[in-house]
Amino acid sequence: MMKLETKFRALLAGAALLGGTWACFAANGPAPAPAPPVLAAMQAELDRSMAALSTADPAAYFISYTVSDRQYSEVSGSNGALLSSADNRARWLEVQSRVGTYQLDDTHKLGDRPPSWTSPGTSVAIDDDIPVLRREIWRETDRQYRAASGALIKVKTSQQVQVQTAEGAAPDFSREEPHVSMGPRVEIHVDRKPWEERVRRYTAAFSKSPTVLNSIATFTALAMNQYQVNTEGTKLAFGQVHYRLELFVQTKAPDGMDIDRYTNFDWLDPKDAPDDKTVLESVQKLIQEAEALDKAPLVEPYAGPALLTGRAAAVFFHEVFGHRAEGFRQKDISEGQTFTSKVGERILPDFISIKDDPTEASFGGQMLLGYYPFDDEGVPSVNVPLVDHGVLKTFLMSRSPLVNIPHSNGHGRRQLGYVPVARQGNLIVSSSQTMTNDQLRQKMIGLLKQQNLPYGLMIDDIEGGFTFTGRGQPQAFQVTPLVVYKVFADGRPDQIVRGVNIVGTPLVSLTKIVATGDKQEIFNGYCGAESGSVPVSAVAPAILISEMEFAKKETSTDRPPILPPPAHDPEVKGQQP
């Protein structure tokens, strides 16, 4: 199951590359920056290890080292008080030692046995002490080579007793051109004191509402410097910086349903941080929406026309299409392989095109969280046209090739501690036939009248979603709306409602898109799947779907607190001096 979230949980778990800035110097450009000591240690140990292990039995044919140097600051407050404030720096080493050949190696999937998605690694010294770093790399290389050697024996045994699928005959690893890029080290210099006061102030503003049960504001700053070397000749040093402020508020409706509202701000340069006025306006908007949802009626399960605003549509495409376009799913026999045989066929209306372009750092002046210069296998990020006027063209690829797609297109991604696989970066949906918001509403009302339905549903904001892609589960998805409105066929004012999730199956849902809006909106979040939680963006216009199903949302049966908050209790107020 893949899950897309707005929250910044992946960061503290050691997220992979985040949207930010980087510098690259090509061989024919300016003089490259000198190799940092950590990269020098990695290269020296790589040369020594490959010289020995390439002649061992079994022989290593490929070795790569990745060191992720992560510096972050985090300040969190709740209900007017400080929860935590800390700085941290750490380095994480990952060693990949492949034995066998590019065609068949120790990573080959064994039948329907689920692979191990975790990637053993280890913390290493943050001091730039080359002898110490080389010793730690040496120890980890030995461990990984021994593990790979044992795995290759099992792979060769399985080849004799298991039927191989067509895609199973694809090579286990792709040959790629080496890339050399030496960028400057990036750093963050955060004064946490002002942010401590700000998170107190923001969460205190939430507490002015008697309906608020809990509020959290979290500021995070991350500088990630990544170093990669491999035996093909790739040598990379690059860094990215990202700042984020998150606001979360929770209330509880009289029937026990938890009401959550969330928003976030992302920026790359400290001077672009949102000011107090902007943040406090968002606080008031979240409070107003939460209070309205507390009083809103529950909506019953529904099937009919639905209008998804841009952010909601972006999550819809991420879940319904994006995960099924990830290349490794096309060669895994346990996967549903919804689109595997549909390259060259129309899977969407002919006015819709989709690309995944992690080379774009921003869109319409807003940063894209799914930007990265190189993926986690040392391959440059690539703009990949996935759907052209409704026709499926290709898949997102890591270095796990398909029979007809032998190379990576720069989408091998992972959270620290996981094995890279093909993942989305910046999924961008565009349309050649657009309408204004008013025209979309009128078209929706026309569909309601045709279907003799009293109302349709408009999804205005969204928390995230998840999807199932395996054969052992229904090929279904779920998207979790936060703000939903009834749009009435008779022209009555829209009514805010609550209590439903969007559900459906991909092939049917994609073909029922009948119109799109004229403005693309951005969803920045974190996607959790086989290779951990990675930062992603999805961009899409509003979409009108002729028929979509909504199911009842899971809810709590606990009633709201018996007493009001102390600050809003008349008796307590009367006792205060």
> Which tens digits make up the pLDDT trace of 250-285?
999 998 888 999 999 999 999 999 999 999 999 999
Phi, psi of 573 (to 5 degrees): -60, -40
Confidence at 207, pLDDT banded by 50, 70, 90: very high
Render pLDDT for 132-191 as a digit per residue (tens, 0 to 9): 999 999 999 999 999 999 999 988 887 655 555 565 688 999 999 999 999 999 999 999
Give dist(CA 408, CA 400) in Å, integer: 7
Task: With beta carbons less than 8 A apart as the criterion, state whether 171 and 103 touch.
Answer: yes
Confidence at 9, pLDDT banded by 50, 70, 90: very low
Average confidence (pLDDT) over 199-211: 96
The gap from C-alpha 295 to its chain's centroid, in whole angstroms, comes to: 33
Pairing assessment for the beta strands 477-488 and 500-504 based on DSSP bridges: antiparallel
Predicted pLDDT at 463: 75
Predicted pLDDT at 529: 87
Determine how many CB atoms are found less than 10 A away from the CB of residue 202: 22
37-53 vs 130-159: helix crossing angle, rounded to 10:
40
Predicted pLDDT at 12: 34
Coil, helix or strand at residue 523: strand
Residue linked to tokens 């008080």: 81
Predicted pLDDT at 24: 34
**Nearest alpha-carbon partner for 432 in 389, 464, 398:** 389
What pTM was computed for the model? 0.89
The dihedral region occupied by 344, where left means phi > 0, alpha psi between -120 and 50, and beta the remainder, is left
Please report, rounded to a whole number, the percentage of residues in the chain having pLDDT higher than 70.
Answer: 86
Using alpha carbons only, give the angle 363, 366, 369 rounded to the nearest 5 degrees: 85
Tokens of 439: 């025209």
Top pLDDT among 467 and 23 is at 467
Task: With beta carbons less than 8 A apart as the criterion, state whether 248 and 215 touch.
Answer: yes
**Lowest mean per-residue pLDDT among 162-171, 530-539, 552-561:** 162-171
Render pLDDT for 435-446 as a digit per residue (tens, 0 to 9): 999 999 999 999
Per residue in 502-512, is it b (16+ CB within 10 Å) or e — as a string? bbbebeebbeb
Give dist(CA 314, CA 328) in Å, integer: 22
Predicted pLDDT at 472: 52
Predicted pLDDT at 358: 98
Residue 360, pLDDT above cutoff 80:
yes
Task: With beta carbons less than 8 A apart as the criterion, state whether 334 and 472 touch.
Answer: yes
Average confidence (pLDDT) over 495-521: 90
Predicted pLDDT at 2: 55
Tokens of 560: 């709201």
Contacts of 15 (CB under 8 A, 6+ apart): 222, 224, 415, 416, 526, 533, 534, 535
Please report, rounded to a whole number, the percentage of residues in the chain having pLDDT higher than 90.
Answer: 69
Render pLDDT for 48-74 as a digit per residue (tens, 0 to 9): 999 999 999 999 999 999 999 999 999
Top pLDDT among 559 and 342 is at 342
Residue 29, pLDDT above cutoff 80:
no
Give dist(CA 563, CA 234) in Å, integer: 63
Determine how many CB atoms are found less than 10 A away from the CB of residue 329: 24
Render pLDDT for 300-350 as a digit per residue (tens, 0 to 9): 889 999 999 989 999 999 988 999 899 988 886 665 677 888 999 999 999
Residue 225, pLDDT above cutoff 60:
yes
Render pLDDT for 95-129 as a digit per residue (tens, 0 to 9): 999 999 999 999 988 765 656 666 778 999 999 99
Look at the chain and count its residues: 577
pLDDT mean across residues, the chain: 88
Predicted pLDDT at 413: 97
Pairing assessment for the beta strands 455-467 and 302-308 based on DSSP bridges: parallel
Predicted pLDDT at 141: 97
